[in-house]
Structure 1
Amino acid sequence: MKKLALVGGLALSLIAVNLFAAERPLRLGIEAAYPPFAFKTADGQIDGFDHEIGSALCAEMKVECQWVEQEFDGLIPSLKVKKVDAILSSMTITAERRNSVDFTNKYYYSPARLVMKAGSEVDADFSNLKGKRIGVQRSTTTDRFASEVLAAQGVEVVRYSSQNEIYLDLISGRLDGTLADAIPVNEGFLKTDNGKGFAFVGPSFTDPKYFGEGAGIAVRKGDSELLAKLNAAIKAVRDNGEYQKIQAKYFDFDIYGD
């Protein structure tokens, strides 16, 4: 009888553990200063494409989303020390980042573009940018490209914690341009009143060495269970049309890409 009671107690404990695991929120790291992908509403709530996609994925996986907000360059360190379970913050999938984290399949793709005063011209080798101050967000793919390619042509690369800070200095004339992902800079700056007088200049930047394979969700190295669940959820929301509904709220084109 004692053995039976012990077995029964263990079974109940396992059930309780499994219920707790199923009910534990999924902690998603996000930088809420990257419109239209993530931003704060007037009442201080996080909103945007990334936020809505994340909420849809959590609903598909039947888990509660718990959003953890912080600056972009602190997201991977937070993932490593288990302050968050995953990063859903327009993080580009690159070979360099794969050394630190595992990525889901992409959930959208955006090339990078240079934004300067309308009418500016850029030489193919960027030589006429010598002496220009170009703003980039710290620890991004554009930061790496600017540091390795543009700086070699005499460009002064100025790093910021957020893209919104770059826009302020661009408007005030403290910067000559910014290199950033084309979609957010177009939707969050060029299409707004603040972006009047500015335009895309030069080519689209798509070299996978620097600009990766699209935006993915990062998880800790070896977390294959969460990775599989997120990939299945991304496929499900695209198949059932939820992805397209969210996309239509923010963009008038297919952001997913080929």
Structure 2
Amino acid sequence: MKKAFSILAVAGFAALTGAASAQAEQVKVGIAAEPYPPFTVPDASGNWSGWEIDFINAVCDEAKLDCVVTPVAWDGIIPALNSGKIDMIIASMSVTEERKKTIDFTDGYYRSKAIVAGLKDLTFDATPATLADKIMGVQVSTIHMAYAQKHFAPAGTTLREYQTQDEANADLAAGRIDAVQADEIALRDFLASDAGKACCDLKGTVESDPAVMAEDAAIGLRKSDPELKERLNAAIHAIRENGTYLAFNSKYFDFDIY
């Protein structure tokens, strides 16, 4: 049902700026090297599939770009963009004021609230007061870690940091922690799994704090690439209008995550 992303031959990035070039430059799309189901999932051969891989295919086709998926460790993905190792980030990255200091963003391409899931036999919700004596897992270098450090840790929640959300979910399922905070769409995928249904349930949605957390995921770009931003924005809106977005979205969700 989920198709693997084909690594494509690369077309000229210089063509985006109208520069003449005999040898086309690569357009590298940075994704997180860590699995993030149902958005990005690698198989044993290193091929990636998932909602976000389908989105990359669709938006690159619409923008007339030949894109190479380039996995990068999440905590180094913004430095990789600014150093030129990749040309854009398509990795469920939320738009925050802190990130906007160093990179630019396209228009959003999906939205997801932040929720808390926890062990079924424990009673609490998504408020700091009810998690005061609990252990919460969060993924490093994410808006969820920033939010938890600001709101939950001062109230007495013990935070445990993980390199991937899968690792946090696994510890939750094993009862080694009491709760996790993550994006609703990704966390609901875990709660619908056999392991998630056996151990855990949804505890609630965290209160909004725009200073550290946003709901919109967008494509991250260097501030020096306004032409690429314009081209990608046009592609995002085109695949929304022509039905391509809803076609691949329906393979993963029974609602429109836009």
Q: Which ranges of structure 2 fall in alignment gaps of 5 or more residues?
A: 1-17
Q: How does 1:30-109 map to 2 (within 5 A)?
A: 30-31=31-32, 32-109=34-111
Shift of 1:206: 3.5
CA distance in 1, matches of 2:126, 2:202: 15
Helix, strand or coil for the counterpart of 1:92? coil
Helix, strand or coil for the counterpart of 1:106? strand
Contact 2:37/2:186 (<8 A) preserved: yes
TM-score (norm 1): 0.87
* From 134, 159, 180, the counterpart of 2:161: 159
Q: Which ranges of structure 1 fall in alignment gaps of 5 or more residues?
A: 1-14
Q: Does 1:192 align with 2:199?
A: no
CA distance in 2, matches of 1:151, 1:132: 10
Residue 36 and residue 235 in structure 1: after superposition, are their counterparts in 2 closer, same or farther (change >3 A)? same
Q: Greater CA deviation, 78-87 or 36-45?
A: 36-45
Shift of 1:20: 3.3
Aligned residue number for residue 30 of structure 2? 29
Shift of 1:213: 4.3
CA distance in 2, matches of 1:95, 1:16: 32
Q: Greater CA deviation, 111-120 or 177-186?
A: 111-120
Q: Greater CA deviation, 106-115 or 194-203?
A: 194-203
Aligned residue number for residue 9 of structure 1? none
Contact 1:113/1:203 (<8 A) preserved: yes
CA distance in 2, matches of 1:235, 1:19: 31
Counting helix residues as a fraction of each chain, which structure ranks higher?
A: 1
CA distance in 2, matches of 1:147, 1:140: 11
Helix, strand or coil for the counterpart of 1:139? coil
CA distance in 1, matches of 2:49, 2:109: 17
TM-score (norm 2): 0.87
CA distance in 2, matches of 1:124, 1:157: 14
1:196-224: CA deviation from partner (whole Å, max 9, x where unpaired):
23111033444322321400000012310
Q: Greater CA deviation, 202-211 or 64-73?
A: 202-211
Aligned residue number for residue 250 of structure 1? 252
Aligned residue number for residue 133 of structure 1? 135
Shift of 1:118: 2.2
Contact 1:205/1:211 (<8 A) preserved: no
Residue 59 and residue 88 in structure 1: after superposition, are their counterparts in 2 closer, same or farther (change >3 A)? same
* From 226, 229, 253, the counterpart of 1:227: 229
One-letter amino acid of the counterpart of residue 215, structure 1: A
CA distance in 2, matches of 1:208, 1:157: 21
Q: Does 1:142 align with 2:128?
A: no
Contact 1:27/1:67 (<8 A) preserved: yes
Quote the RMSD (CA, aligned, Å).
1.8
CA distance in 2, matches of 1:208, 1:184: 20
CA distance in 2, matches of 1:113, 1:38: 20
**How many residues end up aligned between the 2 structures?**
239
Contact 1:116/1:177 (<8 A) preserved: yes
Shift of 1:91: 0.2
Aligned residue number for residue 204 of structure 2? 202
